[in-house]
Chain A
Amino acid sequence: MTQSWLDIGALEDIPRRGARVVKTRHGCVALFRTAADQVFAIDDRCPHKGGPLSEGIVHGNAVTCPLHNWVFSLETGLAQGADSGAVATYPAEVRQGRILLDCARLIAGRAA
């Protein structure tokens, strides 16, 4: 599928080491901003019991789920350490202070 970049908002709208969500037809996507001002987009649903990952503590390029402390890599979406599981990731980047999210898979009528 071709890419479809959408301007989601300003980098400043997300606190450093924090996250905001974007609502989509397939559920919420969490957009994280790291201490180094990188932006990552992953599904906002923990594969364990559905915890909202956007509310987790961000450390390095990882987030800890607020419900039971599973840790996920923001780049790969893979659970770290002893836990196994994965969340979907989406291409996202920052250009001139704006956040661009590849919405190709997100605005399609059905899950792609």
Chain B
Amino acid sequence: MKRRLVVIGAGMASGRALEHLLAADPGGWDVTLFNAEPRGNYNRIMLSPVLSGEKSYAEIVTHDDAWYAAQGITCRFGEAITAIDRAARTVTCANGTVAYDKLLIATGSAPFIIPVPGHKLPGVVSYRDLDDTNAMIEASAKPGGKAVVIGGGLLGLEAAAGLAARGMEVTVIHLMGHLMERQLDPAAGYLLQKDLEKRGLRIHCKGATKAILGTNRVEAVLLEDGTVYAADLVCMAVGIRPETRLANSAALEVGRGITVNDQLCTSDPDILALGECVEHDGQLFGLVAPLYDQAKVVAATLAGTHAAFRPVQTATKLKVTGVDLFSAGDFAEAEGREDIVFRDPARGIYKRLVIEGARLIGAVMYGDTADGAWFFGLIKEAADITAMRDTLIFGPAYQGGAQTDPLAAVAALPPEAEICGCNGICKGTITAAIGAGASSLADIRATTKASASCGTCTGLVEQLLAVTLGDDFKLPTAQPVCRCTDLTHEDVRRLIKSQALKSMPAVMQELGWKTSCGCHVCRPALNYYLLADWPLDYTDDAQSRFVNERNHANIQKDGTYSVVPRMWGGMTNPRELRAIADAADKYAIPAVKVTGGQRIDLLGVKKEHLPHIWADLNAAGLVSGHAYSKGLRTVKTCVGTDFCRFGTQDSTGLGIKLEQRLWGSWTPHKVKLAVSGCPRNCAESTCKDVGIICVDSGFEVGVGGAAGMDLKHTEPLAKVATEAEAIDLTVAFVQLYREHAKYLDRPYKWLAKVGLPWVQQQVMDPAIRAGLIERFDLSQTVYQRDPWADRATPAAQAAFAPLADLTREAAE
């Protein structure tokens, strides 16, 4: 007597289960197969090649009519089951009811749709089945069509690549900071983005969709940040959700998916389930490899033999022709785990292995994935890798122990990359000079002028000599930034410019960083270099800043903070003083002090009070004094012509103008200014980073003074006749310093390296000066904003408060 098996869903998982079941017991079952799609089983994975045009639907069918007929399966394609009656053991569809002895649920998953306004407009599709694929192919037929894909995961990128292959102009919008963040780390995500951009895709990371616009059909996509992308087609590929509606209505046990045990039985012993619709041991499934294992177990359970499902490790590959990426296992960092990182900037290769004890447990690779299968095998077998650990990253073929090449980043530069910014000399010119016989730094300086001006590119020129001449050139040892790299600060700065590196992962990959995410030494420096060089492209990373700059206040030894409002040029008034006094009372400030920088310090403020005290001070017109920043600090002034009998110019007025122009700017180290009304120098201008002394005939601008650990008198930069020129010179000097100095070098230290004559030549040249001023002002359009006002919001106030308070939580 044949038993009746009803299967809901003719997808990849149930297809494989039926093959196993009917092969083992050909006459044992009377199978009825329902499928909501009006067709039988096909290889869903291969929809991407169908979309891109590399395959046809006929080529990806896995079970055709003849197969179903030969197996005696009753096919009910195009019929969706609407209910399960567990007591009566029947299932119901629009055309009636069918009884079962055993029921197999294999409904797969449903694409997740973000319910933004406009998500139901015609032209918005998901990417799950053949109908979706055909809809996209149809939309791409219109010449010059634009597509927006929402979601930069596996599915979204395959959809995007397919649509691009069909000639559409494609934009991918991704919520997270890098593509495929579930499978890739930021380094690999960066390389992937770069590759896809090279193929003409536009990638917008950190993009949150606000609405899909259009009247009768989609016309555009609007993001939270205000960006609008025109779209004839929108593909939403933001994730999947197990299709559990039937199981829910039938009151089966359902978590995120239909709960199944090791035998793939649901909470009803006559009902089994497998595929993406199930949850096993808290885990969901989204790739076919484990589903095929489930299929074997389902067949065994139905046949009455014992088998148990054990989830296997899965590996990911992206099916975009020409993109080589691989990820497997667990690559999160954790206790006792170690990273081995290999980067070859020249060839765009990144490999990272994660090792725990004697075993390999995770691997991420980009650019060269030939060894992926081998690593995956080691992960699955939990093989002991102790013996080959040192050379493991080079793969099975190479056990000789090559070293990563510290010169690779320089070797990888294209000939047109600029090496010497002062003289505009690019790599090709220098290598040509070496080819023509130059063999030392002096030769290069004599023939090309490179490194002959400010000298900050010396390291790079030497490395070019080493790369080109090989062993004939002995590389002097320079101090690298930190243990994450062999490059010096100056090299990193110049390479960021010449290679147009605009993100932290870009710098770390292209310059061959030896760690996956840097350390507390290099990250703040890189963050500064990137925001200084690319104010419009780079997003400041708060987590790469030192606590003071992250919290916009100076941390004290007991973990409280100090708050210093700006007093422009040292001027204040009763209203401001009253607001400060009120705040000191309201927040019970333990100490109020007049600083050495002509303003008032409120010391001992609790972190959670910061945004509140700022809001109160803001209300009186006071803004942050940046007393904590590597940025503009104070502009001290004296009373000048307004009151003083010796004053020659309006020193107070000039100081206020300078402070208003420069505040908010970030600099390699702190920058302090002063303006004194006469050579008596009451504002102590002669020991400031920029100090101006007013005289009858104009303004003497001095730079590079200091009164900290070193005491330095300023050096005269220039004497000018007008206030406007004094301001221009100051802005140009500060910008030159911002663009060239090493992180944490005060101006006097940087000046000692590049020399005053070079600085003078730069800021006195009208064209160069205008460029410096223009770039400074551009940066200020982004960075001149009061951090206090930005944090006077309820959201920021909550972020500064403890996450939870357990002090009143009852003990058990």
Which of A25, A34, A59, A96 sits near B518, CB closer than 8 Å?
A59
**A57 near B544: Cβ-Cβ < 8 Å:** yes
| Cα–Cα distance between A107 and B342 once the two chains are bound (Å) | 45
Alpha-carbon distance between A53 and B524 when the two chains are bound, in angstroms? 17
Closest residue of chain A to B550 (Cβ to Cβ) is A55
| Contact B806–A58 (Cβ < 8 Å) | no
Whether A60 contacts B333 by the Cβ 8 Å rule is yes
Taking CB atoms, residues of chain A closer than 8 Å to B557 are 49-50, 67
Q: Would you give the shortest CB distance from B508 to chain A, in whole angstroms?
A: 12
Pick from B396-404, B408-416, B683-691, B797-805 the stretch touching chain A: B797-805
Residue B802 contacts which of A6, A21, A96 (CB distance < 8 angstroms)?
A21
CB contacts (< 8 Å) of A31 on chain B: these are: 803
The one of A22, A61, A64 that contacts B806, using a Cβ cutoff of 8 Å:
A22
Q: Let me know if B97 is at the binding interface, CB within 8 A.
A: no
A-B interface contact total, Cβ < 8 Å: 120
**Which chain A residues numbered 42 to 88 have a C-beta less than 8 Å away from chain B?**
49-52, 55-61, 64, 66-67, 69, 71, 73, 75-76
Residue of B186, B520, B542, B546 touching A59 (CB-CB under 8 A): B520
Q: Which residue of A lies closest to B336 (CB)?
A: A75
Partner of A6, one of B185, B331, B516, B806: B806
The B769-812 residues at the A interface (CB cut-off 8 A) are 799, 802-807, 809-812
Which of A9, A21, A57, A61 makes the CB contact (< 8 A) with B523?
A57
Q: How far is the CA of A34 from the CA of B334 in the complex (A)?
A: 10
Which residue of the partner chain, among A22, A60, A107, A108, contacts B516 with CB atoms under 8 Å?
A: A60
Residues of A contacting B811 with CB < 8 Å?
107-109
Decide yes or no: A58 and B543 within 8 Å by CB, A20-B803, A23-B802 being known contacts: yes
Residues of A within 8 A of B804 (CB): 6, 8-9, 22-23
List A residues 1-42 near B (Cβ within 8 Å): 4, 6, 8-9, 13-18, 20-25, 28, 31, 34-38
B681 contacts A by Cβ under 8 Å: no
CB distance from B503 to the nearest CB of A (A): 14
With A55-B551, A66-B546 in contact, is A13–B806 under 8 Å at CB?
A: no
**How far, in angstroms, from A37 to B802 measured CA to CA in the complex?**
19
Q: B545 — nearest CB in chain A belongs to which residue? A: A57
- With A and B bound together, what is the CA distance between A31 and B523 in angstroms? 21
Q: Is the CB of A34 within 8 A of B333?
A: yes
Q: When chains A and B are docked, how far (Å) is the Cα of A48 from the Cα of B671?
A: 31
- Residue on B nearest A109 in the bound complex, by CB: B811
Q: How many residues of A contact B (CB 8 A)?
A: 49
Tell me, rounded to whole Å, the shortest Cβ–Cβ distance linking B608 to chain A.
Answer: 10
Shortest distance from the beta carbon of A57 to any chain B beta carbon, whole Å: 4
Query: Is B335 in the interface zone, CB < 8 Å from A?
Result: yes
* Interchain CB contact under 8 A, A107 and B333: no
CA distance A38 to B550 in the complex (A): 21
- Alpha-carbon separation in the docked complex, A96 to B185 (Å): 21
Contact B543 A60 (CB under 8 A): no
A16, B332: Cβ atoms closer than 8 Å? no
Interface string of B507-527 (1 = CB under 8 A from A): 000000001111110011000
**B558 sits at the interface (CB 8 A):** yes
Give a binary string over B544-562; 1 marks a CB under 8 Å from any A CB, 0 the rest.
Answer: 1111001100010111000
Tell me, in angstroms, the Cα distance from A44 to B518 when the chains sit together: 23
B156 CB, nearest partner CB in chain A, Å: 20
Q: How far is the CB of A20 from chain B (nearest CB, A)?
A: 4
| Interface pair A55/B547, CB less than 8 Å apart | yes
Task: Report if A8-B519 is in contact (Cβ < 8 Å); known contacts: A16-B543, A67-B555.
Answer: no
Could you tell me the distance between the alpha carbons of A13 and B799 in the complex, rounded to whole angstroms? Answer: 8
In the complex, how many angstroms separate the beta carbon of B800 from the nearest chain A beta carbon? 10
Query: Quick check: A36 and B333 within 8 Å, CB to CB?
Result: yes
Q: Is the CB of A25 within 8 A of B807?
A: yes
A29 to B17, CA, bound (A): 50
Q: Is B803 touching A24 in the complex (CB atoms < 8 A)?
A: no
Nearest-CB residue, chain B, relative to A45: B559
Q: Which residues of A contact B803 (CB under 8 A)?
A: 8-9, 13-14, 20-22, 31
Residue picked from A8, A59, A103, most chain B C-beta under 10 Å: A59
Bound-complex Cα distance A94 to B410 (A): 42
A-B CB contact pairs (8 Å), 21 listed: A8-B803, A9-B804, A16-B177, A18-B542, A21-B803, A23-B804, A24-B806, A25-B806, A34-B333, A35-B186, A50-B557, A50-B558, A52-B555, A55-B550, A57-B523, A59-B518, A96-B256, A103-B806, A104-B812, A107-B812, A109-B811
Interface residues of B (CB under 8 A from A): 177, 185-186, 256, 331-337, 339, 515-520, 523-524, 542-547, 550-551, 555, 557-559, 799, 802-807, 809-812
Q: Which 4 A-B pairs have the closest CB atoms?
A: A75-B335, A64-B520, A36-B332, A20-B803
What residues of chain A have their CB less than 8 Å away from a CB belonging to chain B?
4, 6, 8-9, 13-18, 20-25, 28, 31, 34-38, 49-52, 55-61, 64, 66-67, 69, 71, 73, 75-76, 96, 103-104, 106-109
